Chain A
């Protein structure tokens, strides 16, 4: 619910509901221009920014876009490529040439096997939704330790906060390394106390990310954080 931080009045719309006249505004994501009106195509909150009206969906499947930082789980390995589950409708494909290692044909499994977790970036998505991943880039690697968890797509902005402020505070409070993937997966690594604190935070995001009281509840948890108040 990223509309919350604007402080403006939130308007919940359902598919087919007219949001307003289509003159002078552009129809953004989650909307359609139908006749003289802009209608919502998803259940969500109306957002208007720079003359574009869009709907922030409440529930949405992850649709990969090129450039997204994602946390993937290897689903199958071929001689020269990996298929990774990136929490979307289709598996991402990581070819040998875009892996950070020098891989010999047939030896892909030595570097990453089924069930291993990786931090990757979406290199390319074509119109048929084929997803190509890359692990060439700063910080992109196989995640060997730590904890991986999933949150709903629309709660990502809640966990990150304005300009990543919440995320920074959480990193400081938990003394953990935290990566939030664009695909709703979160990776946390640190000492036991920090990880258990983050577990609590992620539970709160999952169950209360929608609520207006989220910030207050988060603050209450942060006061008990191992690293003290951020």
Chain B
């Protein structure tokens, strides 16, 4: 099964090509407040993915037709840098980035208390500097940290994580080969303190059992990443406070 002939994605001993266990995440690093011009910003490295996010606002929503009288709109622009992959990406908006911008905005709208800022716009710019599968998840994680850094009220820090299936085995956090040649991919936006899901997409087929395993892996990973996000935010301000707070 798999559809790609004899491509082997798991080693003989059951470990993955990069040596990780099946429920092991790539290494994650988070940094808050990296861009001085933005109201809030974040830098997230997840495996070989690198995302930078800047948040501006709340500001008056323009053009006026996008204004909502009862809430703020979140204007997300997800973009991959031309040099982020080995094949140069043509700069500018494309179908994929529009889709990811849209779903990211919808995920963020469910955690940000948008009703606090009627007629406003919160601008979220996500730039992928290096890509290695799972960039939409890294973008969501970066956006959450940047929004918190900007002082935008939120119910929780949303975390983007993905699981998938390769060679009929459910694995956490797909890398490039697993994403390209695997059987399924399940990215999620998780609210780690309540366990709610604000974003879910599925590419490929998963049985109910496999889906549940993915969910379990994602929840576990989300909690781990959440610790790093909180740490990044606290580190930034505790340093500023002379190490007190």
Q: Could you list which residues of chain A lie within 8 angstroms of chain B, going by C-beta atoms?
A: 1, 10-12, 14-18, 30, 32, 34, 39, 41-45, 57-61, 89-91, 127-129, 210-213
Contact B148 A15 (CB under 8 A): yes
Residues of B within 8 A of A11 (CB): 245
Contact A127 B237 (CB under 8 A): no
- The reply on B2 being an interface residue by CB < 8 A is no
C-alpha gap A89/B242 in the complex (Å): 31
Residues of B within 8 A of A14 (CB): 148, 157, 229-230, 233-234
Contact A213 B242 (CB under 8 A): yes
C-alpha gap A10/B242 in the complex (Å): 13
- 11 additional A-B residue pairs with CB within 8 Å, beyond A61-B151, A128-B119: A14-B229, A14-B233, A16-B157, A41-B113, A42-B151, A42-B154, A43-B233, A59-B150, A60-B151, A89-B117, A89-B120
In the complex formed, the residue of A with least CB distance to B158 is A16
Contact A61 B154 (CB under 8 A): no
- The reply on B94 being an interface residue by CB < 8 A is no
**Of the candidates A15, A18, A89, A127, which one forms a contact with B60 in the assembled complex, judged by CB atoms under 8 Å apart?**
A89
A-contact 0/1 string along B229-242, CB 8 Å cutoff:
11001100110111
Min CB distance B134 to A, Å, is 22
In the complex formed, the residue of B with least CB distance to A130 is B119
Contact A43 B148 (CB under 8 A): yes
| Size of interface on B: residues with Cβ below 8 Å to A | 37
- The reply on B47 being an interface residue by CB < 8 A is no
Q: Chain B: interface secondary structure?
A: loop
Contact A90 B119 (CB under 8 A): yes
Q: Could you list which residues of chain B lie within 8 angstroms of chain A, going by C-beta atoms?
A: 39-40, 57-60, 69, 113, 117-120, 148-157, 191-194, 229-230, 233-234, 237-238, 240-242, 244-245
**Of the candidates A45, A59, A61, A212, which one forms a contact with B242 in the assembled complex, judged by CB atoms under 8 Å apart?**
A212
Residues of A within 8 A of B237 (CB): 12, 43, 58, 210
Contact A129 B151 (CB under 8 A): no
**Of the candidates B117, B149, B193, which one forms a contact with A18 in the assembled complex, judged by CB atoms under 8 Å apart?**
B193
Residues of B within 8 A of A1 (CB): 241
In the complex formed, the residue of B with least CB distance to A32 is B155
Residues of B within 8 A of A30 (CB): 153
Contact B241 A210 (CB under 8 A): yes
